[in-house]
Amino acid sequence: MNAPAPLQTSYAPRRWRPAPLITGTAALHVGAAAAMLLEPATWPWATGSVIASHLVLTAAGLWPKSALLGPNWTRLPPSPDANDRIALTIDDGPDPEVTPRVLDLLDEHSARATFFCIGERAQRHPQIVEQIAARGHAVENHSQRHRHHFSLSAPGALRREIEAGQRTLTQITGTRPLFFRAPAGLRNPFLEPVLCDLGLQLASWTRRGFDTRERDAGKVTQRLLDGLAPRDILLIHDGHAARGADGAPVILKVLPELLRTAAQAQLRWTTLREALDENTPKNAPIPVQKAIDAAPFDKI
């Protein structure tokens, strides 16, 4: 497989711009408080409106492909180079049994993928993460511990979890992740400001196979290929992979068909990192990293 072109590996923190839903909710809270102060009898309506706004925020966080809480990559950004590109993202690894076999399949088809790795798993199997990077794939942040209550965390807890994942993966690969995917895709309004401060971009997907629970490889493949189009971002799992009736991880049966079909459709695989680099002006200076980059890795 040909080595990818050198990419930018350093991006400055992004400026946080509250999404309209966030600013609208804040304004509603202020209005509700003012209404109760000026006319106490309005408290049922004011309280009800605040509760309703919180329900909307919760629903937005429970919808992985939502952009209501802030920017979220559900497809590759439009560009002249994206007209025949699709992205394969692989979550929850590394897995010592599955990931090396996934890498071999990708090599056979000259395909590059984006691996969203869990920090703790990466610490247990650093040599596999090194292999992912060495074989031309991108390693991105899927949190340090992949806790199921991640979306219920306060800003400080979110930052500690994401920052720990950043440091773990940077220490192993020598390259800072540029993307973050929340565990199960679930999040809350506090996540985007943290990602902005850490220079990370949230990424979800266009379509997924539900291959952590679906044991039928044919059904997983159909979900991924149904309506496949340029700029799609696909999600499968090398960690927590479901197993078919024969005991084999489903991903190992899904990948060959997926890669063959993409080749027949003349679609080319790219990484999210490459797509980001292609949409960054080539003459733009690489921003200086924040002081966190220079912090010792053992200060987690």
Q: What is the DSSP letter of 240?
A: S
Q: Which of 73-77, 82-86, 98-102, 208-212 has the lowest mean pLDDT?
A: 82-86
Q: What is the DSSP letter of 290?
A: P
Note whether residue 251 is domain-resident.
yes
Burial degree of 72 (CB within 10 A; 0-12, 13-18, 19+): buried
Token pair belonging to 202: 């949230």
Residues in the chain: 300
Burial degree of 69 (CB within 10 A; 0-12, 13-18, 19+): buried
Note whether residue 69 is domain-resident.
no
My answer on whether 108 and 209 are in the same domain is: yes
CA dist list (Å): 158 to 7, 103, 111: 28, 31, 33
Domain that holds residue 182: 80-278
On the question of pLDDT at 4 being above 50, the answer is no
Query: What's the pLDDT tens digit per position in 137-156?
Result: 999 999 999 998 999 999 99
Note whether residue 270 is domain-resident.
yes
Other C-beta atoms lying within 10 Å of the C-beta of residue 123? 14
My answer on whether 29 and 117 are in the same domain is: no
pLDDT band at 22 (very low <50, low <70, confident <90, very high): confident
pTM: 0.87
Query: What's the pLDDT tens digit per position in 264-293?
Result: 999 999 999 999 987 665 444 434 333 333
CA dist list (Å): 214 to 87, 117, 184, 217, 267: 22, 21, 15, 7, 26
Rg, the chain, Cα only: 21
Note whether residue 48 is domain-resident.
yes
Token pair belonging to 13: 């923190």
Catalytic residue among 91, 92, 197, 211: 91
What is the pLDDT, as a whole number, of residue 295? 38
Residue of 30 and 164 predicted with greater confidence: 164
What is the pLDDT, as a whole number, of residue 214? 97
My answer on whether 89 and 206 are in the same domain is: yes
My answer on whether 130 and 248 are in the same domain is: yes
Q: Is 237 a catalytic residue?
A: yes
Phi, psi of 213 (to 5 degrees): -130, -20
Query: What's the pLDDT tens digit per position in 85-110?
Result: 999 999 999 999 999 999 999 999 99
Catalytic residue among 92, 237, 238, 277: 237
Q: Which residues pair with 208 in a beta bridge?
A: 235
* Distance in angstroms (rounded) separating the CA atoms of residues 215 and 253: 11
What is the pLDDT, as a whole number, of residue 293? 37
CA dist list (Å): 237 to 243, 267, 294: 11, 21, 32
My answer on whether 100 and 180 are in the same domain is: yes
